[in-house]
DNA sequence: ACCTGAACACCGTTCAAGT
DNA sequence: ACCTGAACACCGTTCAAGT
């Protein structure tokens, strides 16, 4: 039972996104499920895109928490594994988050910033502990890891990654290969 | 001057996609620009999605050619650079190609297969030449490289990659860092 | 401040009909 | 085989009006 109309709208939009992707999300159905008219959302959001940005920002916060908690508990591998698990659990949200936003909606830029700051910190800590090479700066190394993680998840969601018989989920495997190569340096 | 209505439809859809993303592509505007009615496309494609799949398949063929020609000319780095250049030159097409296709449209699966076969071959050749480690199989190594390339391009298109003052385009830089780490093994 | 109902200008898709 | 025009069931967004 949502405490406010605004919350109900975001929840309904998230449910619809999970059910059938972005084209399933219509302001009319969102209103219907929230018990308001089809244009009540305009009192809480500037339009459909703004509502979807709220959904995306919320998911980015979940990414930030997964990366932070995983990094605190067990270092880089755990942080990445927690992030990958979250991303694969909600594919439509992942694609929304990294989808085509016109010139950075601002709200999203800040949330993305928060999400990845902790990864740079985790990378930096592993460098100081001698578990990652120091021949590359932490930010640049984080960009490499981030690219591989993002690409592996996105390819996996599209069914473009080679399937293996045993072992963990493919994206985790890909990232482990990267980390192994980096640590062999 | 397109030789057939079908070709005109694909060309118009591609132009509209480049101009304003997927939501700019409407069958009605595609028909308008092709000099036919708004439902003539149904005589050539099963629907809007099928038309977009044709656009995506065409772009995948361009990726295959870039990877093949680049790999033949100058090895892995050149192949990747050619692919990245093509992807960045047509951002909306890239996002369409790797976007959410319901259960692999078949037509696209085969085109994607063709596109990446040559990368595995290039990787395998570099392994034999001693320029890449043989501790990982060629397919698995290609998946790692592919993930990093894909992720770096996708993050760059979303403005999520850290900006650098000098040097080449960011995705190329990220991939060069990966290859350097792999070759240091 | 928040919400409603009607209206506008679009969509994708289907169908009966033409050549 | 290929195309057209009308029609259907939707959209997002705006607006005047209500409490």
Give the tens place of pLDDT for each residue, B44-85. 999 999 999 999 999 999 999 999 999 998 899 999 999 999
Q: Please say whether the beta carbons of A146 and B151 come within 8 A.
A: yes
Average pLDDT, chain B: 94
Judge whether residue A139 has pLDDT over 80: yes
B37 CB below 7 A from strand C atoms: no
Protein CB footprint (7 Å) on chain C nucleotides: 1-6, 10-15
**What are the tens digits of pLDDT across the range B137-146?**
999 999 999 9
CB B123 within 8 A of CB B132: yes
Query: What pLDDT, on the 0 to 100 scale, is given for residue B102?
Result: 82
Q: What pLDDT shows up at residue B64?
A: 97
Residue position matching structure tokens 């190609």: B97
* pLDDT for res B118: 94
CA torsion A114-A119-A121-A125 (nearest 10°) is 170
Higher pLDDT, A129 or A106: A129
Q: If you average pLDDT over every residue of chain A, what do you get?
A: 94
State the average pLDDT over residues A58-78: 95
Does A59 or A105 have the greater pLDDT score? A59
Predicted confidence (pLDDT) per residue in B97-125, tens digit: 999 888 767 788 888 889 889 999 999 99
User: What is the model's pLDDT at position A2?
Assistant: 61
Q: Would you state the structure tokens that stand for residue B11, as one six-digit string?
A: 């060309």
| Mean pLDDT of all residues in A79-89 | 98
Q: What is the pLDDT of residue A103?
A: 73
* CB B25 under 7 Å to nucleic chain C: yes
> Own/partner pairs for B73-77, CB < 8 Å, 24+ apart?
B75/B122, B75/B125, B75/B126, B75/B131, B76/B122, B76/B123, B76/B126, B76/B131, B76/B132, B76/B145, B76/B179, B77/B176, B77/B179
E-only strand ranges, chain A = none
Confidence category of residue B167, pLDDT binned at 50, 70, 90: low
The DSSP result for B103-156, as a single string, is: T--SHHHHHHHHHHHHHHHHHHHHHHTTSS-SSS-HHHHHHHHHHHHHHHHHHH
**Which positions in chain A touch B146 (Cβ < 8 Å)?**
151, 155
- Give B109 or A124, the one with higher predicted confidence: A124
Query: Maximum distance among all alpha carbons in chain A?
Result: 60
- B6 CA, C15 C1': separation in Å? 22
State whether the Cα torsion A65-B147-B23-B19 is positive or negative.
positive
**pLDDT grade, residue B2 (50/70/90)?**
low
Return d(Cα B153, Cα B87) in angstroms, integer.
Answer: 7
Asked if A69 reaches chain B (Cβ–Cβ under 8 Å), the answer is no
| Contact residues on chain B for A143, CB-CB shorter than 8 A | 152, 161-162, 170, 174
A159 CB within 8 Å of a chain B CB? yes
A172 falls in which pLDDT band (50, 70, 90)?
very high
The confidence score (pLDDT) of residue B86 equals 98
Determine, for residues A181 and B181 on separate chains, whether the beta-carbon distance falls below 8 Å.
yes
């Amino acid at each position: 039972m949502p405490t406010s109309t605004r919350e109900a709208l975001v929840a309904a939009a998230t449910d619809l996104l999970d059910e059938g992707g972005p084209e399933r999300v219509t302001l009319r159905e969102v209103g219907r499920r929230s018990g308001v008219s089809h244009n009540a959302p305009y009192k809480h959001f500037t339009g459909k895109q703004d509502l979807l940005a709220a959904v995306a920002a919320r998911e980015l916060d979940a990414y930030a928490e997964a990366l932070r908690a995983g990094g605190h508990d067990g270092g880089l591998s755990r942080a990445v594994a927690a992030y990958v698990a979250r991303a694969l659990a909600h594919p439509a949200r992942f694609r929304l988050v990294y989808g085509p936003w016109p010139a950075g909606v601002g709200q999203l830029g800040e949330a993305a910033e928060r999400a990845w700051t902790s990864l740079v910190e985790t990378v930096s800590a592993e460098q100081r502990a001698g578990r990652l090479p120091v021949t590359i700066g932490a930010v640049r190394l984080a960009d490499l890891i981030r690219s591989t993680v993002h690409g592996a998840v996105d390819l996996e969601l599209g069914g473009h990654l080679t399937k293996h018989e045993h072992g963990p989920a493919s994206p985790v495997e890909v990232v482990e290969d990267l980390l192994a190569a980096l640590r062999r340096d």
